[in-house]
A = this chain, B = another copy of it.
Amino acid sequence: MLKTTLLHPGILGALGRSGHGSQVLIADGNYPFTTGSPSAAEKVFLNLSPGKVSVTDVLAALVESIPIEAATVMVPPDGAQQQILAELRALLPAGLELTSLKRHEFYDLARSPNTALVVATGEQRRFANLLLTIGVVRAVGDRSSTGAASAQSASSFRG
């Protein structure tokens, strides 16, 4: 057993093959995991049963392990706020803006060849899908500028 927060061999492997700009989809239980993502993306199935595991379980395990440059959520058709939103904000890096996309625009982005990993959950809340874009890990003392990366995506190395 690894001594890290993140233990899953498939997730660790996919993240170790990814980098700046690669996307990670944490999908709720109703997401079309295979038909709604590129075939080249690694699929990890954690949808054990309704509610287990949740999207927030996965986000909590990931958030310490990778820098996050951007995050996108799927907006309900009536424009109402997603039930899961406050929990996502609490877990994501402070100050990171969430982009909201309508259902089919979200699918289009999730199906882009940049998606490297799809984590399927049993999340029961509706519109709880979260698409993360990986940022940059900086060595301590690195001050180089990054055009696209906002301050919160450039994490110092955690050693």
Contact = CB atoms under 8 A, between A and B. Distances in A.
Interface of A: 1-23, 27, 29-36, 39-40, 43-53, 57-58, 60-61, 64-67, 76-78, 80, 83, 103, 107, 113-116, 120, 122, 124-127, 134, 136-139, 142, 144-148, 155, 157-159
B67 A60 contact: no
Tell me how many chains of this kind the complex includes.
10
A144 B80 contact: yes
Chain A binding surface, main DSSP class: loop
Contact of A30 (B44, B80, B136): B136
Contacts of A64: 3
Contacts of A39: 40
